[in-house]
Structure 1
């Protein structure tokens, strides 16, 4: 975590404005705010409800079946991006999601190590693309060719869309100081940064 406390505190769920209540309603269990746990990321971004609404539209594309990357491969890109951006919140949330989407427990630490950490050629291309996008905001010609050797053109585009979305997410999480949700534990490797 970059900050030990939030710069922007999550909104109080008992004191929402009408705009905040409207944008947060679908994020609670069954669409009822009091019944569901609304994550700190959304409670923080709710200070700007119109921005949150727009953010959710694009984020829903990235996490939906409209994104042509299979869920496991999408999570490889998200987690590598979260690691490179040093976003403990993003990493913590998406390790759980990644495991549910088919990543194995031994693959999680390899995401920290990079594209040469024993990945298949397809997975290494995803990790390398995330690295290049983070470092240079550009996928090199050899890495693009490696992506196309394993994925369709639209899937390769979705790699860029996914890395870009989660770079933005990490920027917000890190800068606003969004803290882990109740019951979560920070990966100790983030404390070393």
Structure 2
């Protein structure tokens, strides 16, 4: 975690305005509930509403990447951005989406950590987008050998969304939700 306390504290329900409560209401019925990220973003309820619309696309079946492959991208972004909150949340989601604990550990090591060619291409594409905001011709071609054009687009959309999420989490100082444990490699970031 980059910050040991929030710069923008998460709002308790009792401290929210009617607009803020309306912005978090759809999250209450979700699998994860109203997490600290959403309680923090509730300070800007109109932004939270739009954030949830786009984020909902990235995490839905409308994103053509299978859930496991999507989580490889998200976890790699979280790790590269040194976002302890993001990596922690998506470790659980990744496990639920078919990744193993060993694979999640290997995500931190990169594309040459014993992955299949398709998985390695996802990690390379994510690394290139993180470093240069561009996927090289060679990596794009390799992605195309394993994924459809729409899935390749969704790699870029997912990387972009979770880069933004990581910037938000890191800069606002969003702290882990109750019961979560930070990956030791992300302590002090």
* 2:92 alignment partner in structure 1: 96
Shift of 1:37: 4.5
- TM normalised by structure 1 equals 0.95
> Would the alpha carbon gap of residues 37 and 158 (structure 1) be closer, same or farther in structure 2, given more than 3 Å must change?
closer
* 2:56 alignment partner in structure 1: 60
Mapped partners of 1:64, 1:74: distance in 2? 10
Shift of 1:192: 5.3
Mapped partners of 2:47, 2:115: distance in 1? 37
Give the ranges of 4+ consecutive aligned residues of structure 1 lying more than 3 Å apart after TM superposition: none
Residue of 139, 143, 146 corresponding to 1:147: 143
Shift of 1:90: 0.2
Task: Count how many residue pairs are aligned between Structure 1 and Structure 2.
Answer: 189
Gapped regions of structure 2 (runs ≥ 5) = none
The answer to whether residue 20 in structure 2 is matched with residue 24 in structure 1 is no
> Would the alpha carbon gap of residues 37 and 148 (structure 1) be closer, same or farther in structure 2, given more than 3 Å must change?
closer
Mapped partners of 1:63, 1:11: distance in 2? 24
Deviation by residue 1:142-177 (Cα, 9 ceiling, x = unmatched) = 000000000000000000000000000000000000
> Would the alpha carbon gap of residues 37 and 154 (structure 1) be closer, same or farther in structure 2, given more than 3 Å must change?
closer
- TM normalised by structure 2 equals 0.97
Mapped partners of 1:192, 1:182: distance in 2? 19
C-alpha RMSD of matched pairs (Å): 1.4
